[in-house]
Amino acid sequence: MNPMPSRMLRLAAASLLCLSFSSCGDDPQLVQKREEQKAEIRRLDGELKVLQEKISQIPADKTSELSKLKQDSDLQKQEIENLEEEIASLQSKKAEIEKAHEAYKRKYVIR
């Protein structure tokens, strides 16, 4: 049997054994850091819940509704302008008809 692979196997086993023994105990600094991280996680989780609550209370976005209302407003303004033009046209026709009626009344006086 070749002593080289056997020796390498023993060396690897010894290394693994040493490594496993050294990692059995928790390092106090690592324990403290882990506890600090847990506390930080709890604090951030609390802040996250507060922010989520605030976000849920924000009113819904109304930009699409406002856009539609603006379009409706523009259409109504255009309709108002058209109606005002029609009113002016009808008033001028009314004035012409009244003048014609007055001329007719003068021409054909009722006795």
pLDDT, tens digit, 9 for 90 and up, residues 55-108? 989 888 889 999 999 999 999 999 999 999 999 999 999 999 999 999 998 988
Query: Dihedral sign, CA of 31, 32, 34, 39?
Result: positive
Residue length of the chain: 111
DSSP state at residue 59: P
Cα 6 from Cα 40, distance rounded (Å): 49
Dist. CA 24–CA 31, nearest whole Å: 13
Question: Could you state, in order of their start, the residue ranges of all structural domains in the chain?
Answer: 29-58, 59-111
Q: What is the pTM of this model?
A: 0.45
Which token pair is 56? Answer: 């849920």
pLDDT tens for 10-19 read: 878 777 776 6
